[in-house]
Amino acid sequence: MTSLKTVPLTTEGGAAWTVRAAAGPVPEGITTPVAATVPGEVHTDLLAAGLIPDPFDGDNEGKLAWIGRTDWSYRTTFDWAADGHAVQELVADGLDTAATVTLNGTELGKTCNQHRGYRFDVTGLLVAEGNELVIDFAGPVRTAEELAESLGLWPHTNHHPYNAIRKMASNFGWDWGPDVATAGIWRPIRLESWSDVRIDSVRPLAGLDGDRGVLTTHVALAWADGATEGTTVTVEVGGTTVSEKVAAGTGTVQLTSTVESVDAWWPRGYGEQPLYDVAVALDDRDSWRGRVGFRNITLNVAPDKDGGPFVLSVNDKPIYVRGANWIPDDAFVTRLNRPTYETSLQDAVDAGMNLLRVWGGGIYESDDFYDICDEQGLLVWQDFLFACAAYSEDEPMRSEVEAEARQAVTRLSRHASLAVWNGNNENIWGYVEWGWRAPLAGRSWGEGYYFDLLPGIVAELDPRTPYSQGSPFSYDHFIHPNDERNGTMHIWDVWNQVDYTTYRKYKPRFVSEFGFQGPPAWSTLVSVVHDEPLDPYGRQMLVHQKAFEGNLKLERGLGEHLPKWKDIDDWHWTTQLNQARAIVYGIEHFRSLFPLNTGAIVWQLNDNWPVVSWAAVDGHGIRKPLWFALKRVYAERLLTVQPRDNELVVAAHNDSDVAWSTEVTVTRRSTGAGSEVLARETFVLEVEPRSATLSSLPASVGVPGDAAGEYLEVRGGDGSTAYWYFIEDTALRLSGDAYAASVTPTEDGYDVTVTAAALAKDLALFPDRLDPAARVDSCLVTLSAGESHTFHVSGAAAPAQVGVPVLRSANDLVS
């Protein structure tokens, strides 16, 4: 018999789908079927049909909450040409979420897990013409509430019991995301027709043995009833071919391939990212193709003299993690594709990051995401999908968790970028400290998943990738899970309760979550917030601020660092600047602790809609000042001035394979006109590869004569820079006319050249205020008198001149 036959039932594959409201709180005018896109979601279908307004705009989110309580029915018809194969199956890679699947009046099954795929036997049910496939989805909000009521309420954050159902938690709303609980066929769906045998799954696990690559390929086979003829399984990789003949009924075959003198895969900044094609075939019956990179990854959490480290090593080389947390890149995830992922992941690459943590309240991302991470050398820390809640370990939840975990590990384990499997986000911490034990009253809460089920699955299916029980976690049952001296730490008292200077009170081994809020780009904000007048506490503004007392915390977070705003333009600039400064403060401190500290993962890289949040890149893809700050502090070589034992030191962290040698000039200057030189010292900086040094500063530069009117400028001969201010900006004497700007048109936009006559602190250009399509190449630039900087703007025509609020600085806030 010839190879497996696939018939796509997606819109792109030619299937015509409709969706209609089946039951629930449906407004008038939305009762007849409309065209549906598959893969897709009911919100995007209704939006395309013109039946609802943009859920992201204004306060539409609340007006459209009925969608999540309504049942929806998807329907298509198709013809079927018999092909002689013995078995026909309907394969759904993703149904969101509580669904009943019916073909030609026969119920195939029910589903209740967005995070896994399903396969239904339809042999004998297909007819030549007019096959009718119906998938009915129960309203997800109502379903979650009913499950919580029937199974028991387990503690959770936010207002919906998202932990009662295996669905993307943040889809029910989060402190940065909208409550747009979706339903739909969210991943591809198809018919597969085959005889005798097919490939059920492939797990090619690639590692290194010296300079040889070793690929262990696990091929799971599915056999038709009554199959008697065996098959030959063949694996090709790196110019080598291995094969094995197996008898009918064999469940799994394991083949080992050795590639001599293989090129090792490395994370970015540590080497190249060679990938090798892998082809698996069952004679001419079925085939599979993918790519692997040969690498070894280990995680060291063994106790040491300072507590317990968290050290990821690739090919025996410890990696200093410069990372960010990743959330679903759109609240409607079916709008994501390879180009959108390429754009967003380039934001991580361009910022100097080497790791992304796929957070546990989201999804197991598409293959495109992990493929791009493989190509770009971005390590992936993959959470299992549990976040900020207790979870039942009873049936049917436990079986669903096991099924989804097995599918996820099987699908993702081949990726070279996959560096960590992590059991959950904050749930162990929550059990210890968030008051869960009393309402749980002895019931299970997820511990069995994190300490038994999930590590067992990883050990079985992906033993080459480290497993972590949770984040944060101290890797010992008798140590608080969020202890700074051990393992991973989340720092959230900063932002929630205390000033960002508190970062320096911690000496964390590894920080896997910390962050500070700021608004999105101006053009992004005003595209969805229409309050008149625009105000931080306006009604629509607060719809787009999901954090508890978020805008109050933005105000409180200014502390003594920056003055309270005078108007909405100043609010926008002040809070964006404060966000960037807070994160810089933390990361510079963490890196100055190296090798005690081995990395940081900032919350968060991206947004899933236009919102005030912790993101570095907003929901329209515009890089906020925070992103440019991250690009500087995530550079391979970082200079920073830090206080140590009642003196100032220059901390230098060299996260590269090349020794760093340069002459450093430290100048104490006046903030006023001319930036007068008050004292100057030089020293030779020598930093070995992958190491750090602290260099004490003499009192001549380290002790000011007039703290309010002086600053330190630190310059390396290689162009590296750092600044230190002896006093906060609210008391610092900054000139209001410290700089002048000129505009020059270019082929793709324009240049804005700023020249300083005195200290010009944190210059920033916001061309999107003139044209939302405009993008700028730099931000947060500090100049001493006589220095110039040119901002390049692309994607927009040149204005005659720029000034406030397009060109901003700290000077115009405090002068």
Cα distance between residue 808 and residue 580, in whole Å:
14
CATH number of the domain to which 353 belongs: 3.20.20.80
Report if residue 696 sits inside a domain: yes
Cα distance between residue 267 and residue 145, in whole Å:
43
Torsion of CA 525, 528, 532, 535, to 10 degrees: -40
| Distance between start and end Cα atoms, the chain | 81
Domain that holds residue 288: 196-292
Same domain, 149 and 91: yes
Per-residue model confidence (pLDDT) at position 489: 98
Nearest to 763, CA basis, from 744, 788, 799? 788
Residue 314 to residues 209, 297, 304, 464: CA-CA distances in angstroms?
13, 5, 20, 11
- Of 633, 666, 700, the residue that ends a domain is 633
Q: What's the chain's average pLDDT? A: 97
State whether the Cα torsion 361-364-369-370 is positive or negative.
positive
Is the pLDDT score of 348 beyond 50? yes
Give me the residues paired with residue 743 across strands: 752
Nearest to 323, CA basis, from 361, 378, 385, 266? 378
Summarize the confidence of residues 292-301 as an average pLDDT: 98
Cα distance between residue 752 and residue 15, in whole Å:
52
Q: Where are the beta strands (DSSP E) in 671-718?
A: 677-687, 691-696, 710-716
Summarize the confidence of residues 140-167 as an average pLDDT: 94
Same domain, 132 and 230: no
Share of the chain above pLDDT 90, in %: 98
Cα distance between residue 207 and residue 524, in whole Å:
45
Q: What is the 3-state secondary structure (H, E, C) of 257-287?
A: EEECCCCCCCCCCCCCCCCEEEEEEECCCEE
Report if residue 625 sits inside a domain: yes
| 3-class state of residue 428 by DSSP | helix
Same domain, 691 and 595: no
pLDDT-derived band at 153, boundaries 50, 70, 90: confident
Per-residue model confidence (pLDDT) at position 509: 98
pLDDT-derived band at 2, boundaries 50, 70, 90: low
Report if residue 734 sits inside a domain: no
| 3-class state of residue 102 by DSSP | strand
Summarize the confidence of residues 341-356 as an average pLDDT: 98
Say if CB 381 and CB 310 are below 8 A apart.
Answer: no
Per-residue model confidence (pLDDT) at position 667: 98
Same domain, 381 and 254: no
Give tens-digit pLDDT for 662-687.
Answer: 999 999 999 999 999 999 999 999 99
Give tens-digit pLDDT for 531-570.
Answer: 999 999 999 999 999 999 999 999 999 999 999 999 999 9
Report the b/e string of 183-200 with b at 16+ CB within 10 A.
bbbbbbbbbbbbbbbbbe
- Of 158, 192, 226, the residue that ends a domain is 192
Report if residue 230 sits inside a domain: yes
Summarize the confidence of residues 277-299 as an average pLDDT: 97
CATH number of the domain to which 253 belongs: 2.60.40.10
For helices 568-592 and 625-633, angle between their N-to-C axes, nearest 10 degrees: 20
Q: Which residues contact 339 (CB under 8 A, 6 or more apart)?
A: none
Cα distance between residue 60 and residue 54, in whole Å:
7
Report the b/e string of 140-158 with b at 16+ CB within 10 A.
bbbbbbbbbeebebbbbbb
Nearest to 553, CA basis, from 608, 607, 493? 493
Say if CB 311 and CB 341 are below 8 A apart.
Answer: no
DSSP secondary structure string for all residues of 768-805: GGT-TT-EES---EEE-TT-EEEEEEESSPPPS---TT
CB atoms within 10 A of CB 684: 10
Same domain, 666 and 698: yes
Same domain, 284 and 323: no
State whether the Cα torsion 798-802-804-809 is positive or negative.
positive
Cα distance between residue 659 and residue 718, in whole Å:
13
Counted residue by residue, the chain has a size of 815
CATH number of the domain to which 176 belongs: 2.60.120.260
State whether the Cα torsion 475-480-481-486 is positive or negative.
negative
Give tens-digit pLDDT for 45-78.
Answer: 999 999 999 999 999 999 999 999 999 999 999 9
Q: Which residues contact 463 (CB under 8 A, 6 or more apart)?
A: 205
Same domain, 375 and 266: no
Cα distance between residue 655 and residue 638, in whole Å:
8
For helices 454-461 and 397-412, angle between their N-to-C axes, nearest 10 degrees: 30
Residue 195 to residues 83, 190, 289, 472, 806: CA-CA distances in angstroms?
10, 17, 20, 49, 66
Report if residue 801 sits inside a domain: yes
**pTM value > 0.85:** yes
Is the pLDDT score of 390 beyond 60? yes
Cα distance between residue 732 and residue 814, in whole Å:
8
CB atoms within 10 A of CB 223: 18
Per-residue model confidence (pLDDT) at position 240: 97
To which residue do tokens 């097995």 refer?
406
Nearest to 760, CA basis, from 703, 727, 692, 711? 711
Environment class of 804 (CB within 10 Å of its CB; exposed 0-12, middle 13-18, buried 19+)? exposed
pLDDT-derived band at 151, boundaries 50, 70, 90: confident
Give tens-digit pLDDT for 569-598.
Answer: 999 999 999 999 999 999 999 999 999 999
User: Parallel, antiparallel, or unpaired: how do β-strands 647-654 and 106-112 relate?
Assistant: unpaired
Say if CB 527 and CB 506 are below 8 A apart.
Answer: no
Same domain, 676 and 760: no
Report if residue 732 sits inside a domain: no
CB atoms within 10 A of CB 240: 14
| Helical (H) or strand (E) element with 440 | helix 437-440
Same domain, 570 and 705: no
Per-residue model confidence (pLDDT) at position 3: 84
Give tens-digit pLDDT for 410-462.
Answer: 999 999 999 999 999 999 999 999 999 999 999 999 999 999 999 999 999 99
State whether the Cα torsion 366-367-370-373 is positive or negative.
negative
The number of domains in the chain is 5
Cα distance between residue 245 and residue 228, in whole Å:
13
Say if CB 599 and CB 323 are below 8 A apart.
Answer: yes
Q: Which two tokens stand for residue 562?
A: 């920056």
Per-residue model confidence (pLDDT) at position 1: 44
Q: Where are the beta strands (DSSP E) in 141-239?
A: 184-185, 189-194, 197-209, 212-223, 231-237
pLDDT-derived band at 31, boundaries 50, 70, 90: confident
Per-residue model confidence (pLDDT) at position 299: 98
Q: Which residues contact 433 (CB under 8 A, 6 or more apart)?
A: 480, 482
DSSP 501: G
Same domain, 274 and 306: no
Give tens-digit pLDDT for 329-344.
Answer: 999 999 999 999 999 9
Nearest to 633, CA basis, from 228, 352, 386, 383? 352
H helix runs in 467-521, sequence order: 493-496
Report if residue 730 sits inside a domain: no
- Of 260, 292, 324, the residue that ends a domain is 292
Report if residue 324 sits inside a domain: yes
Say if CB 94 and CB 117 are below 8 A apart.
Answer: yes
Nearest to 612, CA basis, from 562, 533, 550? 550
Compute CA 661 distance to the chain's CA centroid, rounded to the nearest angstrom: 35
Nearest to 384, CA basis, from 478, 301, 467? 467
Q: What angle do CA 455, 459, 462 make, to 5 degrees?
A: 115
Q: What angle do CA 712, 717, 723 make, to 5 degrees?
A: 20
Say if CB 751 and CB 791 are below 8 A apart.
Answer: yes
Nearest to 288, CA basis, from 235, 367, 223? 235
Same domain, 174 and 200: no
Q: Which residues contact 207 (CB under 8 A, 6 or more apart)?
A: 213, 214, 215, 216, 294, 295, 296, 464
Same domain, 594 and 666: no
Per-residue model confidence (pLDDT) at position 329: 98
CATH number of the domain to which 780 belongs: 2.60.40
